[in-house]
Structure 1
Amino acid sequence: EKGTKERYAKTYKGQPLKKPRYLGAIKPAWFFRSANQTIEPQLERIYIEEIDKTIQKINNNKQ
């Protein structure tokens, strides 16, 4: 409870800090595993490649 309230209390110039949108869009591999789904290695590899591409795009946009 206490930690959560402290986290939400952190603001920047009076505005609550917003999580970058892309973080919500990317579901990590463990998310699917925890849902009791088995991922074929090939699909998992493609999935990881897609995440890498997305991260590269994000980093390029920052520059």
Structure 2
Amino acid sequence: MTYEQIKNLSEKKFKRFCEVKPQLFEEMAGVLRQKVPESKELSGNKKQKSNSSESFFLPPI
């Protein structure tokens, strides 16, 4: 499941899925956005480009 799919969940369901509250998740994502600029190319398969809002690894349901 991507962040785009879970960001509209209730706080309780979001916390159950991600194991953190949405506010804390946003803080962590903000730190990552600052540390990893979007223009930086990631190593790996060049065909698999990820969207910045979907670059978080979330556990399957």
After TM superposition, is the score higher than 0.5?
Answer: no
**Larger helix fraction of residues:** 1
Larger radius of gyration: 1
TM-score by length of 2: 0.31
TM-score by length of 1: 0.30
**Larger strand fraction of residues:** 1
